């Protein structure tokens, strides 16, 4: 008895995928990861649907072959930096005979929070609950099982450009798969970050990708600030390419293999000989490479620092969490970044299939986010291992979560295909 959840992270240079398996004990086991290069995305936005679809298909095909399963649907992340957030409130009456709040009431009150004025070119992605109020006096994080006659919600409504969302859905549909849900990346990452950890104040999640840096600040687990910087690890690669007079792809390989952040007070002795694609040998000084990387890394971190200080939450931030492939793989990054940001810095890694890496944090987080959303103590799993994401049992909370995911995706498709409701 098992089921699978597939999370896809569409990055600016690669597609990342993770697969989780819901076992007979309703526990999530991460069973597979894969990544494929992609040239169809620029600064987090899909600019070539065909190329992106081909990369997604290759990634999914690899996973299907690896696990010998058939994937029918996937959950996809959308960068928080491409989203907008607005505070909203909703209210509904509790109509059940015993006045006990159930998942249908939660669904209805979240739907009421969506009743906001929205530009016709934008679409709601998700409603992020912050707290519930029962009968105007009980302020709680989880209202399920409590009794009352009136339920209110304070939430953040997340929305994004309709065209951006449609491109995500279309890229997946072109692979022959369907989108089971779209998840705000920072919400997914939070599930990975908070595994067995407690943060009593604020934390800053910083996703340093190849072309963009997305910043999300959470206070008491509530999203309170987001920002995006149109720079990333590619800028470091470009610098190496120019300074060492080599092609971009070769510079990327040098960066990944030898890159480190040692700090200005230290040095790396010796030279490195590396064979290039054309068979020639290049020799360079390790210390020079470190200086090239550090100059640009310092600049990127200073941009991040400006946003953290301007957020209004800087003094409350307990820790800065770095992830993504732009800089997180460099040795010494935590101390180097901490000196510039004036905050404790930690690189987040996702433990998956015997591999720890900051590259898979988002897609692993998607899987954990969906599993947490779909499962609770009273859920039993389906017998059909090959039916991905569709055959969850119809206990009340599953119906609620399926309806929430499916309604959101249906809304996207209605606009995309210009279908009348």
Give pLDDT tens digits for 283-317.
888 888 889 999 999 999 999 999 999 999 999 99
| Residue 98 included in any domain | yes
Residue 187: φ, ψ to 5°: -65, -40
| Residue 224 included in any domain | no
User: Which of 248, 210, 206 minimizes the C-alpha distance to 341?
Assistant: 206
Q: Which of 143, 160, 177 is the last residue of a domain?
A: 160
Domain CATH number, residue 172:
3.30.420.40
| Residue 315 included in any domain | no
Secondary structure string (H, E, C) spanning the chain: CCEEEEEEEECCCEEEEEEEEECCCCCEEEEEEEEEECCCEECCEECCHHHHHHHHHHHHHHHHHHHCCCCCEEEEEECHHHCEEEEEEEEEECCCCCCECCHHHHHHHHHHHCCCCCCCCEEEEEEEEEEEEECCCEEECCCCCCECCEEEEEEEEEEEEHHHHHHHHHHHHCCCCEEEEEEEHHHHHHHHHCCCCCCCCEEEEEEECCCCEEEEEEECCEEEEEEEECCCHHHHHHHHHHHCCCCHHHHHHHHHHHCECCCCCCCCCCEEEEECCCCCEEEEEHHHHHHHHHHHHHHHHHHHHHHHHHCCCHHHEEEEEEECCCCCCCECHHHHHHHHHCCCEEECCEEECCEEEHHHHHHHHHHHHHHHHHCCCCCCCCCCCCCCCCCCCCCHHHHHHHHHHHHHHHHHHHHHCCCCC
Q: Are residues 64 and 99 in the same domain?
A: no
| Residue 271 included in any domain | no
- Residues 392/398, Cβ–Cβ less than 8 Å: yes
Q: What is the pLDDT of residue 27?
A: 84
Confidence bin at 325 (pLDDT 50/70/90):
confident
Q: Are residues 54 and 151 in the same domain?
A: no
**3-state SS, residue 189:** helix
Q: What is the pLDDT of residue 394?
A: 39
- Residues 315/217, Cβ–Cβ less than 8 Å: no
Q: Are residues 92 and 53 in the same domain?
A: no
pLDDT of 172 over the 60 cut:
yes
Q: Are residues 11 and 141 in the same domain?
A: no
Q: Are residues 62 and 22 in the same domain?
A: yes
146 secondary structure, DSSP code:
-
Q: Are residues 13 and 146 in the same domain?
A: no
Strand partners, 283: 273
Which tops the pLDDT comparison, 277 or 232?
Answer: 232
Place of tokens 């990634």: 59
Q: What is the pLDDT of residue 288?
A: 87
Helix (H) or strand (E) holding 86: strand 84-93
Q: Report the sign of the C-alpha dihedral through residues 286, 292, 295, 297, in that order.
A: negative
Q: What is the pLDDT of residue 191?
A: 76
Q: Are residues 31 and 140 in the same domain?
A: no
Q: Are residues 137 and 46 in the same domain?
A: no
Q: What is the pLDDT of residue 309?
A: 97
Q: Dihedral, CA atoms, 332, 333, 334, 336, nearest 10 degrees? A: 80
Q: Dihedral, CA atoms, 39, 259, 277, 37, nearest 10 degrees? A: -20
Q: In sequence order, what E strands does 170-316 have?
A: 178-184, 202-208, 213-219, 222-229, 271-275, 281-285
Count of domains forming the chain? 2
| Residue 200 included in any domain | no
Q: What is the pLDDT of residue 398?
A: 42
Report d(CA 291, CA 376) in Å as an integer: 51
pLDDT of 275 over the 90 cut:
no
Distances (CA, A) of 417 to 201, 245, 387: 44, 48, 26
- Residues 31/153, Cβ–Cβ less than 8 Å: no
| Residue 62 included in any domain | yes
Average pLDDT, the chain: 84
Q: Are residues 148 and 54 in the same domain?
A: no
Q: What is the pLDDT of residue 356?
A: 64
Q: Which of 114, 145, 160 is the last residue of a domain?
A: 160
Compute the average pLDDT of residues 54-59. 97
Q: What is the pLDDT of residue 260?
A: 85
Q: Are residues 149 and 117 in the same domain?
A: yes
Compute the average pLDDT of residues 9-22. 93
Give pLDDT tens digits for 366-405.
999 888 877 643 443 333 333 333 333 334 444 445 555 5
| Residue 131 included in any domain | yes
| Residue 145 included in any domain | yes
Domain CATH number, residue 103:
3.30.1490.110
- Domain hosting 97: range is 84-160
Q: Are residues 55 and 116 in the same domain?
A: no
Compute the average pLDDT of residues 408-415. 52
Q: Are residues 88 and 34 in the same domain?
A: no
Report d(CA 288, CA 278) in Å as an integer: 23
Report d(CA 414, CA 371) in Å as an integer: 26
């Amino acid at each position: 008895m098992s089921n699978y959840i597939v999370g896809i992270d569409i990055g600016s240079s690669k597609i990342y995928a993770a697969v989780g398996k819901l076992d007979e004990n309703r526990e999530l086991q991460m069973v597979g990861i894969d990544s494929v290069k992609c040239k169809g995305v620029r600064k987090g936005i899909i600019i070539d649907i065909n190329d992106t679809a081909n990369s997604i298909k290759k990634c999914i095909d690899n996973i299907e072959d690896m696990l010998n399963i058939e994937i029918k649907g996937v959950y996809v992340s959308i960068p928080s930096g491409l989203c907008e957030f607005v505070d909203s409130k909703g209210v509904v009456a509790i109509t059940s005979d015993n006045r006990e709040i159930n998942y249908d009431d939660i669904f209805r009150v979240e739907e009421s929070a969506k009743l906001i004025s929205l530009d016709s070119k934008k679409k709601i992605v998700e409603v992020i609950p912050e707290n519930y109020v029962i009968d105007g006096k009980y302020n709680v994080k989880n209202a399920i099982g409590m009794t009352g006659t009136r339920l209110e919600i304070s939430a953040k409504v997340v929305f994004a450009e309709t065209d951006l969302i449609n491109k995500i859905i279309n890229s997946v549909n072109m692979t022959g798969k369907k989108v089971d849900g779209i998840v705000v990346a920072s919400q997914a990452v939070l599930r990975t970050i908070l595994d067995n950890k407690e943060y009593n104040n604020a934390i800053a999640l910083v996703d340093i990708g190849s072309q963009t840096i997305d910043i999300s600040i959470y206070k008491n687990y509530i999203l309170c600030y987001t920002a995006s910087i149109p720079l990333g690890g590619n800028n470091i690669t470009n610098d190496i390419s120019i300074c060492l007079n080599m092609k971009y792809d070769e510079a990327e390989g040098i960066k990944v293999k030898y890159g480190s952040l040692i700090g200005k007070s230290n040095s790396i002795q010796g030279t490195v000989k590396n064979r290039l694609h054309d068979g020639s040998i290049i020799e360079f000084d390790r210390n020079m490479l470190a200086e090239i990387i550090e100059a640009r890394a310092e600049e990127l971190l200073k941009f991040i620092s400006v946003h953290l200080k301007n957020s209004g939450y800087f003094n409350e931030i307990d820790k800065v969490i770095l992830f993504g492939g732009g800089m997180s793989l460099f040795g010494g990054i935590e101390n180097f970044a901490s000196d510039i940001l004036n905050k404790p810095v930690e690189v987040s890694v996702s433990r998956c299939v015997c591999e720890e890496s900051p590259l898979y944090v988002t897609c692993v987080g998607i899987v954990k986010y969906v599993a947490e959303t779909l499962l609770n103590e009273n859920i039993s799993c389906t017998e059909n291992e090959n039916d991905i994401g569709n055959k969850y049992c119809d206990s009340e909370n599953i119906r609620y979560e399926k309806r929430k995911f499916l309604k959101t995706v249906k809304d996207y498709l209605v606009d995309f295909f210009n279908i009348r409701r």
